Amino acid sequence: MSSTKDHSGVTTVATYPIAIEINGKPQQLDVHPWTTLLDLLREQIGLTGTKKGCDHGQCGACTVLLNGKRINSCLTIAVMHDGASLTTVEGLASGDDLHPMQAAFVKHDAFQCGYCTPGQLCSAVGMTAEGRAETSDELREHMSGNLCRCGAYPNILSAIEEAMPATREQLARDKGVSR
């Protein structure tokens, strides 16, 4: 922990150092213990792709991949993730080449306002990695942590169904690279 004292000697700020890899880039950061992973991304690093919807883990707009697993970034504090590897929606594409899940969302018009989309994308990639959902009913159940207030669910489902095979291949490739 490091803290600074103001001129009257009162401790004003306490931060903790963390090392975290975000979208493949290692970062050394100082964080307040109460800074959520979501606020770290949006306010401290400027990665505003990850969205704040409810801020209570109910809507899924803030979904990111923590060490490959989908989580709600609003319900965890950044200080706990020293040494972690994080992928946000900004890390899905390779340069100008969209991730298969992103390309399918565009193709199927799987959004209206787009606010839930970054969370839907990360969640769908995380779900594919879990490998537990196959049928349409299972996909709906396994995506129930991501709300879309525009009601684009049918197109979201179509996009995910189309993109899952290519996403699986990409996940296998990425795994190969990291080894």
Partner 1 sequence: MNPFTYARPTGIDEAVSLFTPDSRYIAGGTNLLDLMKENITHPEQLIDITRLPLKDIEETANGGLRIGALVSNSDLAWDARIEQHYPLLSKAILAGASPQLRNMATTGGNLLQRTRCYYFYDADTPCNKREPGSGCPARDGLNRIHAILGHSQQCIAVHPSDMCVGLAALDATVIVKGRDGERRIAFADFHRLPGNEPERDNTLADGELVTAVELPAENFSTHCAYLKIRDRQSYAFALVSVAAALQLDGGVIRNVRVALGGVAHKPWRIPEAEALLVGRPADKAAFGELADALLAGAIGFNDNQFKIELARRAIVRALSDAVEGAV
Nearer to partner 1, 7 or 56 (CB): 56
Return the structure tokens found at 153.
Answer: 């669910």
Helix (H, G, I), strand (E, B) or coil at 71: strand
Q: Report the distance separating Cα 145 and Cα 63, nearest Å.
A: 9
**Shortest distance, position 95 Cβ to partner 1, whole Å:** 28
- Site for partner 1, rule CB under 8 A: 1, 14, 16, 32-34, 36, 55-57, 60, 63, 66, 69-72, 75-77, 79-80, 82, 123, 126-127, 130, 132, 140-142, 144-145
Nearer to partner 1, 63 or 102 (CB): 63
Task: Name every residue whose Cβ is closer than 8 Å to that of residue 62 and which is 6 or more positions away in sequence.
Answer: 38, 50, 51, 52, 53, 55, 72, 73, 74, 119
**Shortest distance, position 3 Cβ to partner 1, whole Å:** 10
At position 5, the amino acid (one-letter code) is K
**Shortest distance, position 126 Cβ to partner 1, whole Å:** 7
Nearer to partner 1, 34 or 106 (CB): 34
Helix (H, G, I), strand (E, B) or coil at 40: helix
Nearer to partner 1, 47 or 71 (CB): 71
Helix (H, G, I), strand (E, B) or coil at 65: strand
At position 47, the amino acid (one-letter code) is L
